[in-house]
A and B are shown apart, each in its own frame.
Chain A
Amino acid sequence: GAGVSQSPSNKVTEKGKDVELRCDPISGHTALYWYRQSLGQGLEFLIYFQGNSAPDKSGLPSDRFSAERTGGSVSTLTIQRTQQEDSAVYLCASSLNTIETQYFGPGTRLLVL
């Protein structure tokens, strides 16, 4: 079956613009995560959705970042008033439940000029 997909694969934007990144998880997966991976760095947790529970937003770096997950499926990560330090690869992952293997998408490479 289809894996986790993300769009766009690449995004170039100007400083100060808003961007939306999309994640389509594997069907039936209740847990969805967003991570950020800066060049040569590890995974930085951003936000986590589990079923109908309130999301864990503890990793969001600032109030410019927000995410939603509609109908327990597709998720959108929004970055408002982008800054150059937001440039990174944004990864989405989903899992059947919290204890199961995470399946990662290919990532969206964001470049803020």
Chain B
Amino acid sequence: AQRVTQPEKLLSVFKGAPVELKCNYSYSGSPELFWYVQYSRQRLQLLLRHISRESIKGFTADLNKGETSFHLKKPFAQEEDSAMYYCALSATGGFKTIFGAGTRLFVKA
């Protein structure tokens, strides 16, 4: 069955420290992976998707098909990165997008 797993419900780091939000997926085909973010009092929005290979707000994510992972990384966390982060998986052919349970990132001063 298709599944997205975010093992950490809460991640707390100090400002300036590296941060990695883990995401593992289960899907037999070729998936499209996304990271969405929800800042306080804002609507949920796309942060990045693997096909774009972009770095957004200093965040990057690499799709590792061997490990079926799509971890989100940033070398130096900022306080404004504090938010809820969701990993999501989609595919072609009318496939329903599946979201992970989310990880709340808290960056301490």
Contact = CB atoms under 8 A, between A and B. Distances in A.
B74 interface: no
A106 B42 CA distance: 7
Interface residues of B, number: 24
Nearest to B52: A101
B100 A42 contact: yes
A91 B43 CA distance: 9
A65 interface: no
Nearest to A58: B96
Contacts of B45: 103-104
A99 B99 contact: no
Contact of B97 (A42, A98, A103, A107): A98
A42 B101 contact: yes
Contact of B43 (A56, A98, A107): A107
Interface of B: 32, 34, 36, 43-46, 49, 84, 86, 88, 90-102
